[in-house]
Amino acid sequence: MQDRGKLYIDGAWVAPAGTGTIDVVNATTEQVMGRVPEGTATDVDAAVAAAKGAFAEWSATPVEERAKYLQRLQEGLNARMQDIAETVTGEVGMPLGLSQVIQAGLPAMVMGSYVDIANQFPFEETIGNSMVVREPLGVVGCITPWNYPLHQVVCKVAPALAAGCTVVLKPSEVAPLSAFVLTDVVDDVGLPAGVFNLVTGYGPVVGEAIASHPDVDMVSFTGSTRAGKRVAELAAQTVKKVALELGGKSPFVILEDAPVDEAVKAGISSCFLNGGQTCIAWTRMLAPRSRYDEIVAKAKEIAETFTVGDPTDADTRLGPLISDTQRERVRSYINTGIQEGARVVTGGPEQPDGLERGYFVKPTVFAEVRNDMTIAQEEIFGPVLAIIPYDDEDEAVRIANDTIYGLHAGVFGGDKEHATEVARRIRAGQVDINGQNFNPLAPFGGYKQSGYGRELGKFGLEEYLETKSLQL
């Protein structure tokens, strides 16, 4: 068991102000796998004071030096990749092979990407008689979720450090252990005291203390839309900058000329990734009515290849959900779908056979779904797909955009150019065409109630900078 009894503040592991602890539970065994401090507002005050004290020197550190620290952080994460993958698989339930690539590999890649981004970024430019300068924003509070726990941390911490900001991090209390691995690396590479601080705890205590703190200049939050609204409300009291990456109910439009096998496979893979616990999952599959039965049949066939079981087993394609609370939430949505008249093609609310222990849910596909149904409008965060028919492309686009969210989408067609034309009409921050891969250098973020601000690449760096003009 990983017993992490201290917080990281001002360059040292320190005892928390309070005595409370939070158990971290293995999603497969339902046993305690770790323990972290239950931080308090007093701990946040200490961490913010350390970050504020370190800001002047860190912000004045040449960008080349900051980039060297990021390089060392990437090397440290690479050296701990297996440990990170096993830890996140235990906490979250993602199959280990995927965790090695996504939960461990991707954060290290993103950390390393900011070495070149920082070194190449135009922090100064001349416009007429003005020198336009991009300066670090200040102390940044980073509040992160549990589904991709280290990746979401690095998406904030790496660009903030590259920009010259100092950081106070609150990882999710449900999956905090990989953040401690990162903090070990921070300590090992000798990042100056106060530049990075870690305070674990609950959102209503530690998260709200960060969001409302007068000495925090910016809050970057990833999580639910409900919690994001609260962060923005608290941050507004001190007029601090806020970046929000929130929920999604992403459409996947299969065009009439699409190769069905390939398209449905891409759609199911997105929907079921990480047990459906993915903000960008394509949970609404929009199928042309002329090919609807064919697509539903193929979705059933492919969904039933997603073997549910122990995520450390090489044959497992779908592990457990993060917690009993999440499992019950997903089951409730499945029951609601049934009650509202959608047809279960495969899956259902019952515990999968032979898996008495662990927070497992059957991979579930619904057909005959209307876009006004609950399962088509609300983010379920589980392996649940809703297949919605459409009559023509205008209707497909209308259905795709008929949501409060706008984080992600997909379009799959036989003609890539035409698929791209359809993609341009969808109001979402990212649209994948014909199953293209995730690009860690492209801007990531949402429209509408999926939030505002962008992460990754140079666009992520820009979030942590202020713009000043000097008239010369």
Q: Say which CATH number the domain at 137 has.
A: 3.40.605.10
The DSSP line for 416-459 is HHHHHHHHHTS-SSEEEETTPPP-TTS-B--SGGGEES-BSHHH
Q: What is the pLDDT of residue 121?
A: 98
Same domain, residue pair 254 and 241: no
The total of other beta-carbon atoms located within 10 Å of residue 251's CB is 29
- The tokens 């949501």 sit on which residue? 403
Same domain, residue pair 410 and 322: yes
- For residues 151-168, average pLDDT: 98
Q: What is the pLDDT of residue 92?
A: 97
Give the residue numbers spanning the domain of 221: 2-246+449-471
Same domain, residue pair 108 and 44: yes
- Rounded to 10 degrees, the C-alpha dihedral 201/203/209/212 comes to 160
Same domain, residue pair 262 and 199: no
Q: What is the pLDDT of residues 252-287, one digit of tens each?
A: 999 999 999 999 999 999 999 999 999 999 999 999
Q: What is the pLDDT of residues 101-132, one digit of tens each?
A: 999 999 999 999 999 999 999 999 999 999 99
Of how many residues is the chain composed?
A: 472
Is residue 95 within a helix (H) or strand (E), and if so which, with residue range?
none
Residues 136, 124 contacting (CB under 8 angstroms): no
Q: What is the pLDDT of residues 327-349, one digit of tens each?
A: 999 999 999 999 999 999 999 99
Same domain, residue pair 26 and 90: yes
SS3 60: helix
Residues 254, 265 contacting (CB under 8 angstroms): no
Same domain, residue pair 242 and 266: no
What residues pair up with 103 in beta bridges, in sequence order?
none
**Is 0.95 topped by the overall pTM?**
yes
Same domain, residue pair 283 and 403: yes
Q: State the average pLDDT for the chain.
A: 98
Residues 444, 245 contacting (CB under 8 angstroms): yes
- Rounded to 10 degrees, the C-alpha dihedral 381/385/387/388 comes to -10
- 234 band by pLDDT with thresholds 50, 70 and 90: very high
Question: Of the candidates 44, 41, 30, 32, which has an alpha carbon nearest to the alpha carbon of residue 3?
Answer: 32
Same domain, residue pair 300 and 227: no
Q: What is the pLDDT of residues 48-102, one digit of tens each?
A: 999 999 999 999 999 999 999 999 999 999 999 999 999 999 999 999 999 999 9
Looking at the chain, the whole-number percentage of residues with pLDDT higher than 90 is 99
Q: What is the pLDDT of residue 315?
A: 95
- For residues 196-212, average pLDDT: 98
Same domain, residue pair 210 and 357: no
Same domain, residue pair 267 and 176: no
Q: What is the pLDDT of residue 362?
A: 98
Same domain, residue pair 55 and 143: yes
- For residues 285-293, average pLDDT: 98
Q: Which residues are catalytic?
A: 245, 279
Instruction: State the Cα–Cα distance between residues 286 and 160, nearest whole angstrom.
Output: 38
Same domain, residue pair 306 and 232: no
Instruction: State the Cα–Cα distance between residues 403 and 141, nearest whole angstrom.
Output: 29
- For residues 301-326, average pLDDT: 97
DSSP state of 94: -
Residue 226 has phi, psi (to 5 degrees) of -60, -50
The structural domain count of the chain equals: 2
What residues pair up with 13 in beta bridges, in sequence order?
8
Q: Say which CATH number the domain at 276 has.
A: 3.40.309.10
The DSSP line for 179-243 is HHHHHHHHHHHTPPTTSEEE----IIIIIHHHHH-TT--EEEEES-HHHHHHHHHHHHTTT-EEE
